Structures are given as structure tokens and as C-alpha cells.
Structure 1
Amino acid sequence: MATLPITELTDRAREIFRLVVEGYLETGQPVGSKTLAGGGAINLSPASIRSVLADLERLGLLAAPHTSAGRMPTESGLRLFVDGMMQVAEPTARERAAIEQRLFEPGPIEAALEATSAILSDLSACAGVVMVPRREPRLAQLSLVAISERRALAVLVGLDGAVENRIVELGEPIRPGTLEEASNYITAHLAGRTLAEALRSVEAEIASGKSALDAVSRDLVERGLAVWSEDAARRRVLIVRGQANLLDETALSDIERVRSLLDDLENKQSVVELLDLAREARSARIFIGSENRLFALSGSSVIASPYRDREGRVVGVVGVIGPTRLNYARVVPMVDFTAQSLGKLIG
């Protein structure tokens, strides 16, 4: 259903709607006419307020979970509020300092990405998510170490200090000296290049007959680089932290929704596809409940913002996943600030 333009609401209806939404986001409970009348913000009787609430319900902006329990915003109502009424609050100095302190601690970029998801989770009381940049590390060293007669461990050290391992199938028994020869060749000739660049260089050198390696060593070098470059080109790593934050008292009263949400988070490829929708956004994108297919059943919201390198290229996405009853005004700028801070670190 299309969301009603905010301009079509009367001033009275707009103010009552705003108070209901803000009250619900603060407490998680439906807001009744007596609460609104007693707050002093509206100079109307409870009966007049109930009439406006009924109108807002007919418009699909509010819903009454029980006959006399007050109203709460529908997903359409939340969308109207977020797009047309919400006034965002900049992150506090304390929040900014906490984010920057965690991100800029010494260590490899992987540690900063882990810290990003953790700090977002801590500050928002939601699950923090970070989609790792789809990029290949530049080689500092690549070593091949025998772990059996037909298998070797390829250990890559990147220029950024990151260390990763892969298993290489050898096909036939290899003498230890051959592994060392292949490792030394890669480190000496290909350091500073991306894996894809290194693989292309090796293939070109072998094809031209200029390689000093014997046939077995050439095969090892190609195998070692190929398993890395293929993986780096396809891999989309998603870091999720703080799932336990999603198990609040409201969630535990609806165990099926909890199970659905946790199942959704386990399906990381689908989460990546959802976050990909935010890659082209200029700032944070907000997905509320059934607006995204992935979290439709669990009724969760996602706030995601792209982060860029120093050349302005989008290299990943950061965000939070939580209940639709999020403090959007606080979390949206927090996610944006985190994305900007991470972009400064990526370089």
C-alpha cells in the first residue's frame, strides 16, 4: 500500500500521530487517548483524540492490537514518520569518540571491521552488521607448507598485515624443496601485487617461457595463486555481532518471530543481497518490516549505509538489524557517522 503524503494530514492529526509514534518507539507499548490527553501536549478531550486516532487507523497509519489497548504505528505509519516527520539527532560527542576509538585502534583492517559491527551493536542495542569490502589484498608474502603428501597450506600475508590460510590440493606427492622454491618465487617476484595481478603475471611469464621454475614448481605457484584469487573475487564476507540484543522481552513473548529472525541472520548471503541495496545510497537507507522480503516474517528493520574509500568508491556497507521499534532518529545518524569513519580508515 502506498504511503499517504504527510501533507494530507491535518495539523491536529499530524501532531497526534507524531506523539503516538514517538511514544511507541520509546516504550514499545501502544499509546492510548488518556495518555495523550494527560500529557499536556494536546488541548483536546480524550473523546476528540479517540476520533482522530480512529481516522488515522482507517488511513492504515495506526493499528489497535486490542480493543482498548491504544494504538501503535503500522509499517506504513512508521514509513510516513521516518520519511516525513522524523528529526534526526546527531551522535553525541561520547558516541563519536567511542566509534572512532574502536575503529582506529592499531591492527589490521579486519580488526577494525570486527570492531565496527561490535560498536554499532553496543550503541544501538541491535545486531551490528558489516559487509567486508570486495577487494583483494596485496601480497607481502605467500608461503606453501606441506600438511600431507598431497595437500599444502597456503599462508598469505598481506601488506596490510592480514594473515589468511587456504588448502591447496597438490595432486601428487611433492618434495619439501619444491614448496620452498615456489614460496620464494612468489614472494620475490610478486610482492605488492593483488592476487589477480600476480596470477596473470605468472601465467604470462610461463607462457613466454621466461620462468626459471621447473614444471612442478610452476604448477604449485599457479595453484596457490589461483585458489586465492578465485576466492577473493567471489567472496562476500558479512560480519554480524550482537544477535543476543534481539532477544528482548517483547521478542521472547513471540518465539516464532525470534526463530524466524535468527534463521534470517544465519542466511548471510541473503543479508548481503539486502545490504547491497544500500550501496548506491548517498546516506543511510531504512528497510522497515515487510518492505524487505528477508525480514518480512520476523518484522525487523534494517538501517544500512555505504562506506567509501578515499577515492569515493563504495567498498562495503555497515548497518544494524533490530525490531521495527527502533530509535530511528538516533540510530540513522549513528550508522552514517560510522560509515564515514570507516571510510577514512579504508583509504
Structure 2
Amino acid sequence: MTHVPLTELTERARAIFQLVVEGYIEDGSPVGSKALANDGRVNLSPASVRSVLADLETLGLLAAPHTSAGRMPTETGLRLFVDGMMQMAEPTAQERATIERRLTENGPIEKALEATSTLLSELSGAAGMVMVPKRESKLRQLNLVRVSENQGLAILVGEDGQVENRVFDLKAAIDQSTLEQAGNFISQRLGGKTLAEAAAALKHDIASGQNALDKASRDLVESGLAIWTQDPAQRPILIVRGQARLIDDGALQDIERVRSLLDDLENKQSVAALLENAREANATRIFIGAENRLFSLSGSSVIASPYRDIDGKVVGVLGVIGPTRLNYARVVPMIDFTARSLGKLIG
């Protein structure tokens, strides 16, 4: 994407360029020279406006769709507008109060994360996305149950009452009493530890012979912990809400783009990898169209911001994805405020 310095534009060109971009963001339609000439903010004839539009098109900032005589901003033009001309519209006091209320009225943090994704979708008119914090809850109890000849079920109970079930393979014919012995052994040593912390302690006990487990139980503990402790790191959890908002009247005119976008959103691992690029950012990041490979074919924009816990550590990323004509001036401050509000709830 070629960068065009804002200083290359005359005052007249800047004014017309800004009107085209704002008009396109408003309704998604190309803006014609006649409409620009009739706008009270531009004191130029249609012929003069057309001349300026042609210059902006030559610079790669505007493009003329085949079906219209009007112009619309290119991705290069949108980047220039966002970086150098856009005036942020900070959330009002009422909007800030609504965001904070919506995030705190849903109980557990998991519900707040879902509410955040839904809220971002509503605020932007696009799809909202939230990456769940990469952290493991403290564990209180673990039960092991045989479900088939070759598979067992681990039932993990967190200190916060959350229950998670994980299926694991049984490498040998292990009976239920062996499963119970291994489960009791692990539960006794959890003591408010995460799985990773429990694994380290258990491996130390086994290696030093400080346990009364038989060989079958030891093998079960060792193999099971290896699987369970890898699991959280291998599966970034992404909550996406509001995909239906991407299919509006304007989108139906470009249904292939929307289909491509929805297909991309199904691949949550790839979307999570994209959002990871915003984890270390100091401010909200904006990816426009081909600036990110994942959504280059669908011509979509992503606005993402990291959110932090009460200690200031980045624990996740939230944002929205939608057409390149997102209302950046309004959505960016909304996302930034939502990220700060969610961070206050993360312990």
C-alpha cells in the first residue's frame, strides 16, 4: 500500500477528499461531482470538482466503480484519512455509563466477556470479537471417570465453581479404581494451584518417590497432566457476536465479499492470531483491507485494542470487524473505552 503524504494535497483537494470519505462512510455509496458541487462546504463548479477528483484518483486515494460516475476512497485513501484527518468522536457520558452498566450486570467474568462482544457489535454495526484471557483458574477438585475402553473423562472443578470436562485417551486397560486413586491423588495436591502448577508439584513427587501410587496410576497422572496442561495454550478462545449485522442492504450488492468474510470468521484460530498483533500495542490498532492477509480477499477492516487486568498486564484483545466503511471516528474511541472498562473487571 503506497503512502501518500497529506502535505501533497492542496487545501481544496483535502476538503473534497474528506467529503468523499465521509459520504462513503455514511452510506457506502460513491460520491459524485454534482453532489460535491452542491455541498455548501465546497465553493467550486462541477467541472472544477471533477478535476480535483481526477487528481485524487491519480494519487491512488480515490477510485471510480464501474457502475458509477462517483468516487469512493481506496484502502490507501482510508488509511490517509484515518491517520491524518479523522476527528475522534469521544463517547458521551450517557454512552460511557451504558457501556459500564452492560459489562457489570452479567455476573461472572465469562458472561461479561460475552456481553462485551455483543456490545461491540451493537456499537459498531459490525461483528464484535473478544479474546478470552489466557489464564487458568485455580483448581479445587479433579475427578476421573471411565467412559469407554480407551477413553476417560476428567472433570475439573475450579475454586470459582466453574466446571470443565476434558476427554483423554487411556493407553492401557485401566479400571475405575485406578482412575479414582489417580484422581484423589491429584485432588489432594491441587490446593488452589493451576493445572501447570499442580503438574510441576506432582511430577516432583513422582520423580522423588514421595507417593504411594502404583505404576498404572503414576503413568495415568503423568500422561494426563501432559495433555491437560498443554490444552489452554493450544486453543485461544474467541467470542464472536453479531455476524448477522455484516449482511445489510449494502452487503447484498457484494455478496461474495460477505461470504468470504463469514468464512474467515469461522476460522477462529486465524482470527485470534490476527488479534494477537494488537496485544502489545499502546493504543487501538486499525487494520484496513489488505493490510492484514486474513481479510484481504473480503476487503474488511479490523479495529482492535488490548485490555489489561488491574495490574496493567495485557490479558486479551477485543475489537470489531466489518466493511472498510466503518465509522472509525466513532468506533475507535468506543472500543478504547470498552477495553478500559472491561479491564477494571479482570482480577
- TM-score normalised per structure 1: 0.93
Residue number in structure 2 paired with 1:152:
152
User: How many residues are matched?
Assistant: 347
Give the Å deviation of 1:267: 1.9
Larger displacement relative to structure 2 (113-122 or 88-97)? 88-97
Question: Which amino acid in the other structure matches residue 166 of structure 1?
Answer: R
SS in 2 for 1:253: helix
SS in 2 for 1:236: coil
SS in 1 for 2:345: helix
Give the Å deviation of 1:98: 3.3
Alignment check: 8 A CA contact 2:86 2:329 kept: yes
Residue number in structure 2 paired with 1:345:
345
Residue number in structure 1 paired with 2:182:
182
Rounded to whole Å, the distance in 1 between the matches of 2:159 and 2:101 is 23
Deviations 1:77-98 (Å, cap 9, x if unpaired)? 1000000000111123343233
- In the TM superposition, 1:79-118 aligns within 5 A as 79-118=79-118
Deviations 1:248-287 (Å, cap 9, x if unpaired)? 1222222221221122112222212211111111111111
Alignment check: 8 A CA contact 1:75 1:289 kept: yes
SS in 2 for 1:145: strand
Residue number in structure 2 paired with 1:34:
34
Residue number in structure 1 paired with 2:294:
294
Larger displacement relative to structure 2 (272-281 or 141-150)? 141-150
Question: Which amino acid in the other structure matches residue 193 of structure 2?
Answer: R
CA gap of 1:267–1:68, structure 2 versus 1, over 3 A, is closer
CA gap of 1:269–1:222, structure 2 versus 1, over 3 A, is same
Residue number in structure 1 paired with 2:308:
308
SS in 2 for 1:345: coil
CA gap of 1:98–1:225, structure 2 versus 1, over 3 A, is farther
- TM-score normalised per structure 2: 0.93
Question: Which amino acid in the other structure matches residue 187 of structure 2?
Answer: T
SS in 1 for 2:330: helix
User: Which ranges in structure 2 are unaligned for 5 or more consecutive residues?
Assistant: none
Rounded to whole Å, the distance in 1 between the matches of 2:96 and 2:212 is 54
Residue number in structure 1 paired with 2:9:
9
Rounded to whole Å, the distance in 2 between the matches of 1:141 and 1:104 is 28
Give the Å deviation of 1:130: 1.4
Give the Å deviation of 1:231: 0.5
Residue number in structure 1 paired with 2:123:
123
Give the Å deviation of 1:108: 3.3
- In the TM superposition, 1:226-237 aligns within 5 A as 226-237=226-237
User: Which ranges in structure 1 are unaligned for 5 or more consecutive residues?
Assistant: none
Rounded to whole Å, the distance in 2 between the matches of 1:169 and 1:323 is 44
Give the Å deviation of 1:106: 4.9
Residue number in structure 2 paired with 1:143:
143
Rounded to whole Å, the distance in 2 between the matches of 1:123 and 1:145 is 45
Give the Å deviation of 1:181: 3.1
Residue number in structure 2 paired with 1:50:
50
SS in 2 for 1:280: coil
Alignment check: 8 A CA contact 1:168 1:223 kept: no
Rounded to whole Å, the distance in 1 between the matches of 2:196 and 2:92 is 43
Alignment check: 8 A CA contact 1:145 1:179 kept: yes
Question: Which amino acid in the other structure matches residue 291 of structure 1?
Answer: E
Question: Which amino acid in the other structure matches residue 268 of structure 1?
Answer: K
SS in 2 for 1:248: coil
Rounded to whole Å, the distance in 2 between the matches of 1:168 and 1:278 is 34
Rounded to whole Å, the distance in 1 between the matches of 2:9 and 2:67 is 24
Alignment check: 8 A CA contact 1:121 1:241 kept: yes
Question: Which amino acid in the other structure matches residue 140 of structure 1?
Answer: R
Rounded to whole Å, the distance in 2 between the matches of 1:198 and 1:67 is 64
Question: Which amino acid in the other structure matches residue 116 of structure 1?
Answer: T
Rounded to whole Å, the distance in 2 between the matches of 1:147 and 1:284 is 47
Deviations 1:152-192 (Å, cap 9, x if unpaired)? 21111223433211012223344434333333332222121
Question: Which amino acid in the other structure matches residue 52 of structure 1?
Answer: V
Rounded to whole Å, the distance in 1 between the matches of 2:106 and 2:71 is 49
Question: Which amino acid in the other structure matches residue 59 of structure 2?
Answer: L
Question: Which amino acid in the other structure matches residue 86 of structure 2?
Answer: M
SS in 2 for 1:326: coil
- In the TM superposition, 1:154-169 aligns within 5 A as 154-169=154-169
